[in-house]
Amino acid sequence: MHSVIRIGSRESALAVRQAEIIRDLILENTPETEVQIITMKTTGDKILDKSLEKIGGKGLFVKELDRALLEGRIDLAVHSLKDMPMEENEELPILAYGKREDPRDVLIYRKGLDRLPEHPVIGTSSRRRALQMEKLYPGCTFRGIRGNVQTRMRKLEEEGYDGTLLAAAGLKRLGMEHAAGRYFSVEEMIPAAGQGILAVQGRKGAEFGWIGKIDDPASRAAALAERQFIRVLGGGCTSPSAAHAQVRGNELKLTGLYWNERTRQHQTGILCADVSRAQQAGEELAKRLMREMQ
C-alpha cells in the first residue's frame, strides 16, 4: 500500500490544475491516501525566447520530471499527453490515460477584436497550427510565441499579435473559456496527437490498486492510435503532422495529417477500426498516407 503518493508537476497554473485533477481521482478511489503535489520548473519552461525545434523538442518539458521519477523523489508524474515525446522510456511507462477534455484548438483574439483583420498577425510556435490556419485564413503572418496560457494572453496584448492559438482543454481546465474567440472543429484543424488527454506516468513495476479506475479506455485507445500514427511517420512533437481519434462504442475513427518534410506537401486521411486494433490503425493510416504521397 502507498499511504503517501507524490505527484510531480510543472509549475504552471495549468500543469498544477492537471495534477489536481489526477489527485482528486486518486482520493475519490482511495480516500485514506495522502496525495502531495511537488512542482518543478522544466528546461522547456525556462527557455521561452527560442522555438522548441531549436532547443531540443518537447522532451524538454518532461526530462526533469523523468529524473525525479527515476530517483524516487516522486511516485507519479502528470503531463499533457501532447507534450510527451513519441518515444517512451520503458523504465517510465504511462500507467493511465485520463478522460479526454475538449480536444479542439481555439483562436483567442486581441482585446477589442471579435474577428481577425484581413492580414492578421497570429502568434503560434506550432507548425501544425500554422499549416492548418493558413488554409482557413489565407494571408496570415505567423510569429513565434511561447509560454504558459497566462503568458501568451499577456503577450497577445503587449506584442502586436491579432490572435493566438491554444488548446481548448487548457482553457477549460483553467476556467478561462470566456477568453475563447473561435473554436475550430477537429476537421478544420486536426489536433496534436494526445491533445486533451492527461498521461499519468510512473516507474516500471510500480503497482497502484486504483490505477485502473482513473484510466479511461476511450482515451487509451485514442492515444495509442494517434501516437502510433505520428511515430510511424517519424514525426516528433514539433512535426506539423497531426492525428485525432474519435471513439464511439467499439469503433475508432482516426483522422491523420501527414506532412512530408522533403516535398513540403501534406495529405489527410481517415481510417475506421475496432478499438482493439487502435495501435494498428495508427500504423496502417500512416503507411497508407506515405504511399499516397510517394
| Active site residues per annotation | 83
Cell numbers placing 184: 475550430
Pure H helices in the chain: 13-29, 43-46, 52-55, 63-70, 127-136, 149-158, 168-173, 211-214, 217-233, 278-292
d(CA 109, CA 183): 12
- Are 134 and 165 spatial neighbours (Cβ–Cβ below 8 Å)? no
Report residue 52 as a C-alpha cell.
Answer: 522548441
Please count the other Cβ atoms lying within 10 Å of the Cβ belonging to residue 221.
Answer: 24
> Residue 155's Cα: distance from chain center in Å?
21
CA distances from 136 to 132, 251, 287 (A): 7, 30, 27
